[in-house]
Structure 1
Amino acid sequence: MPDSTMPPVLRSPTWARLTRFSGKDTVFAADLFAREAWATLARELGDGGAYSFAEATALMWVRPDAFAAGVARKVLAATQAAGFRPLAVRPVRVDRCGARALWAYMCRWATVERLWLLDALVALGPGLLVLWADDTGEPAAARLTALKGSNAAGRRTGASLRDVAGSPNRLLTMVHVADEPADVVRELGILCPWPDRAALVIEAAARLTDGACCLLEDAIAAVETELPTLGTPAPDTATPSPGDLTAGPLERRWAALWAAAHRWPLLTATAGPAAWPEQESRSPWR
């Protein structure tokens, strides 16, 4: 175990070990969130333990729209039914800058309207961060990503968590997961500050070893206290303005967000620059 009296160092792993995509390792080696979170993992678990943790853990953020729609518990139950075991859980609030960081590499097709909507979504209240183990023995993050389903309802095949949640479109996706081990590391750096991240990692690593589950109920209830179920808003024929997303009571903002997510353009005709070659092959239009 590293000396706890020493300050953390912004170190980097061999990122190619944690990603299957050519070029992504180079991008993450320069990403401050990724480097910061790896420093936490290596400090608390040692380098070998850090690799094992990233490879054996799946990260999920049950988003504020899932709580507003009243489907968060269904998503969590479906995840457990699929063979995932909860290791650690925290209510986590993401601000505008956190939203930009979380989806920095994946918003190359996003319109400005979509960014406004993401800001309004995270402003609704907290979501729920859960770290999972996959007791089927498969790579945890990859299998949870497959279970999550596409952000476009028409592209989903088979049952998915987003089908369980009733996700209607690319904006109201209800659940976010880290795609692979490299993303598990980076997103821990975005979603948790240093002390909270260290405590979360230590707790989850202990349960990875002993086969225990964490209890979800208290954390779920804490989020629900701040963001109660609002349900699916009634159809509204009026197109919301940006001000409708930020002003007034929670119920009004949620209704405006729901309406705007169905009316505002979410995809640009051409993409911004790709961060690594694999992204060039991803097009929401194909």
Structure 2
Amino acid sequence: MTGTDGKADVFARDLFALEGWASLAGEIGEQQAYVFAERTSLMWLRPDAFAAGTARGVLTAAEAAGFRPVAARPVRLERCGVRALWAYMCRWATAERLMLLDAAAALGPGLLVVWTAGTSTARAAGGEPVSVRMTRLKGRNDARHREAGSLRAVAGSPNRALTMLHTTDDPADVVRELGVFCDRAERVELIRQASTHLAGALPAAVEGAVRAVEAEVPPLGLPSRHRPGRPVQAPELFVGPVESRWAALVAASHTWPLLSRTPQAAFWPEQETRSPWT
């Protein structure tokens, strides 16, 4: 379920992947669990996308690109969930960047959407898993090198801290992140809803879930990155009304250090070849 050398060995020992696979295989059987992982991609539209007021535009852009939602629900991540989600991908993160991720998640819930391609085949056009295709559309987390028309460009993501959305990189990540985002009951409900819509041609309704998130994280727009006076202090990110926390988060995302010069150990060989500094 992954084309990345060494990743399968790591995920074979991962507790979230174990839970995700158990729920998939238990609900729809092992053969269909593989098909589900190939035919779907998970997107978490983060709370910062809702605060920026661009979440609906991302959903529209994804559908325009040929993807169809098959399930959706509000999902809130706490501090440990943040670290679980990005456990393998934060090799270069500073402590400040982790705090900014926590602050973004603390704004409120995000929206978890299960997507499929607009096709009845197990893989997307060109033989690619749906998650691989969607991740390419997502765009880079570095705004300076981001592709025009990517989902993060639509979202208005200004930097590596406020990336606005997360997607699963490949089918193995679909399985693992079902375990990260949802407890067992939520996971079973999501799998059942998605499986029903995968069997048909109609999209799942997402408006109710979008409104539920917007009720807690209203669209505020992207405030100016410049704040007169003293630098942002950590408590400002977590205390006070959502408007002030959002303004502090945007300002800090432009001034706090996000990349470390000394990365943590790689989990699989491909990670050794990638550096945000080059």
TM bucket normalised to smaller: over 0.9
**Aligned-pair distance for 1:125?**
0.1
Deviation digits for residues 18-71 of structure 1 (CA, Å, limit 9, x no counterpart):
000111011000000001100000000100000000000011000000000000
Q: Residue in 2 aligned with 1:5?
A: none
Is 1:236 aligned to residue 227 of structure 2?
Answer: yes
Deviation digits for residues 77-120 of structure 1 (CA, Å, limit 9, x no counterpart):
00000000000000000100000000000001000000111111
Q: 1:259 aligns with which of 242, 251, 254?
A: 251
* Percent identity for Structure 1 against Structure 2: 58
Is 1:199 aligned to residue 189 of structure 2?
Answer: yes
Q: 2:103 aligns with which of 117, 120, 124?
A: 120
Amino acid paired to 1:231: G
Q: 1:183 aligns with which of 144, 164, 173?
A: 173
| Residues 147 and 153 in structure 2, CA contact (< 8 A), matched pair in contact too | no
**Aligned-pair distance for 1:131?**
0.2
What stretches of structure 1 move > 4 A for 4+ residues in a row? Answer: none
Q: How does 1:6-85 map to 2 (within 5 A)?
A: 18-85=1-68
Q: Residue in 1 aligned with 2:268?
A: 276
Of the two structures, which has the highest relative contact order with CA contacts closer than 8 Å and spacing of 6 or more?
2
Q: 2:203 aligns with which of 210, 213, 218?
A: 213
Cα separation, 1, equivalents of 2:260 and 2:75 = 30
Amino acid paired to 1:115: L
SS of structure 2 residue aligned to 1:30: coil
SS of structure 1 residue aligned to 2:199: helix
Amino acid paired to 2:103: A
Q: Residue in 1 aligned with 2:240?
A: 248
Q: How does 1:88-237 map to 2 (within 5 A)?
A: 88-135=71-118, 137-138=124-125, 139-234=129-224, 235-237=226-228
**Aligned-pair distance for 1:281?**
1.0
SS of structure 2 residue aligned to 1:107: coil
Cα separation, 2, equivalents of 1:258 and 1:156 = 19
**Aligned-pair distance for 1:157?**
2.5
| Residues 46 and 166 in structure 2, CA contact (< 8 A), matched pair in contact too | yes
TM-score (norm: length of structure 1) = 0.92
Cα separation, 2, equivalents of 1:21 and 1:67 = 32
Cα separation, 2, equivalents of 1:269 and 1:41 = 39
How many residues align structurally? Answer: 269
Cα separation, 2, equivalents of 1:61 and 1:280 = 26
SS of structure 2 residue aligned to 1:210: coil
Cα separation, 2, equivalents of 1:157 and 1:220 = 26
TM-score (norm: length of structure 2) = 0.95
Cα separation, 1, equivalents of 2:238 and 2:41 = 33
SS of structure 1 residue aligned to 2:99: helix
Cα separation, 2, equivalents of 1:45 and 1:239 = 52
**Aligned-pair distance for 1:158?**
3.4
Q: Which runs of 5+ in 2 are unaligned?
A: none
**Aligned-pair distance for 1:140?**
0.7
